[in-house]
Structure 1
Amino acid sequence: MPTASRRRGDTPPPRTGGTEAETLRGFLDYLRASVAAKAEGVPEPQVRTPGVPSGTNLLGLLNHLTYVERATFLGEQVTDWKATFQAGPEDSAAEVVARYRESVERANSVLDGCADLSAPLPRARPGRAAPSVRWALTHMIEETGRHAGHADILRELIDGATGR
């Protein structure tokens, strides 16, 4: 349990360009940065210590979001989603954060080539239709936002830090 509350200043929502694509990508990038920041600077073992009975922990959330980014935008298959909520014991927090950021960068490279939000997302997943770019962006905003909220609570339980 934290002994003293630390408040980090909130970063306001992004001011994006006027297009739908710029707005969706701006908010997704804002959430991506927020959730990654929650895991930075948290020492072992707190970064991987569950804060709730389900076993959810900061490093596991970021590891999970790495897999979601790769599945959604890069077409990678995940056979055990539950397992993605735990980082390997050999993985440092810095490595998990770096992997997440690298996955985001690769996802953004795919999105950079998508001019039409109604078009299917270009990915190679045999036997499964690709969602539209719009759907994928909206889904990732929802998924990342939900887990960013979890990360907010977990980080506050660890050291009292709040804010984005």
Structure 2
Amino acid sequence: MSVRFPAPTQAADSRTEVYLRYLAYFRDGVIRRVGAMSEEEARRSRVPSGWSPLELVRHLTFMERRWFVWGFEGRAVDEPFGDAVDGRWAVPEGLGVADVLADFRRQAAATDAVVRRHDLDEVGRPSERWDGEPPATLERVLLHVLQEHARHLGHLDVVAELGGGVTGEA
């Protein structure tokens, strides 16, 4: 079942709920596109930069973990940049589409829990994530993560279209 696009006229209890609906929509698009791919297609790069759809999903998983758990809440995480090897996205041998998507879903639930525990105007805890800069508010982190998901979903649309896979809004 697909998550419907959160229309601007759809009532919401809070700004937090609006942000989480958009995040759910973008995540669902990622899951639908990559989940419909064969293992071979999910590992195949169709772009000159060399990334694969599976690598992109793993990147999104770690990106959320870095921003919300390690960054905003300031909690320790194992290998915050574990989605990359030598500056390139990577998926360890032995992890397939089902594994990577399951981790993506688990991180989505963890992220949503972080967002629901805090007020949008709350400032994150100081941590290495901020590179010495003052921590951002939860709302700014959410906006950053939303744009990253939207941008990468667009990349997946192109790659899926080139491979004859699932694309589009529905």
Aligned to 1:119: 122
Q: What is the CA-CA distance between 1:59 and the residue it aligns to?
A: 0.4
Counterparts of 2:168 and 2:83, CA distance in 1:
32
- TM-score in terms of structure 2 length: 0.79
Q: Which structure carries more relative contact order (alpha carbon 8 Å, separation 6+)? A: 1
Question: 1:19 is matched by which residue type in structure 2?
Answer: S
Aligned to 1:155: 160
Q: For residues 16 and 35 of structure 1, do their structure 2 counterparts lie closer, same or farther at Cα, with a shift above 3 Å needed?
A: farther
How many residue pairs match? The answer is 154
Aligned to 1:108: 112
Q: For residues 161 and 50 of structure 1, do their structure 2 counterparts lie closer, same or farther at Cα, with a shift above 3 Å needed?
A: same
- Listed as ranges, the gaps of 5+ residues in structure 2 are 71-76
SS of 2:51's equivalent? coil
For the 8 Å contact 2:57–2:100, the answer to whether it is kept is: yes
For the 8 Å contact 1:62–1:97, the answer to whether it is kept is: yes
Q: What is the CA-CA distance between 1:130 and the residue it aligns to?
A: 2.8
Q: What is the CA-CA distance between 1:37 and the residue it aligns to?
A: 1.5
For the 8 Å contact 2:6–2:22, the answer to whether it is kept is: yes
SS of 2:27's equivalent? helix
Question: 1:118 is matched by which residue type in structure 2?
Answer: D
Q: For residues 59 and 142 of structure 1, do their structure 2 counterparts lie closer, same or farther at Cα, with a shift above 3 Å needed?
A: same
Counterparts of 1:123 and 1:69, CA distance in 2:
17
Q: What is the CA-CA distance between 1:163 and the residue it aligns to?
A: 1.9
Q: Any idea what the Cα deviations from partners look like across 1:98-127, whole Å, max 9, x if unmatched?
A: 011101111111111112x11113575487
Q: What is the CA-CA distance between 1:36 and the residue it aligns to?
A: 1.8
- Listed as ranges, the gaps of 5+ residues in structure 1 are 1-8
SS of 1:95's equivalent? helix
Q: For residues 159 and 80 of structure 1, do their structure 2 counterparts lie closer, same or farther at Cα, with a shift above 3 Å needed?
A: closer
Aligned to 2:38: 43
For the 8 Å contact 1:63–1:100, the answer to whether it is kept is: yes
Counterparts of 1:94 and 1:16, CA distance in 2:
34
Equivalent positions of 1:49-68 (< 5 A) are: 49-68=44-63
Counterparts of 1:149 and 1:138, CA distance in 2:
17
Counterparts of 1:123 and 1:36, CA distance in 2:
32
- TM-score in terms of structure 1 length: 0.82
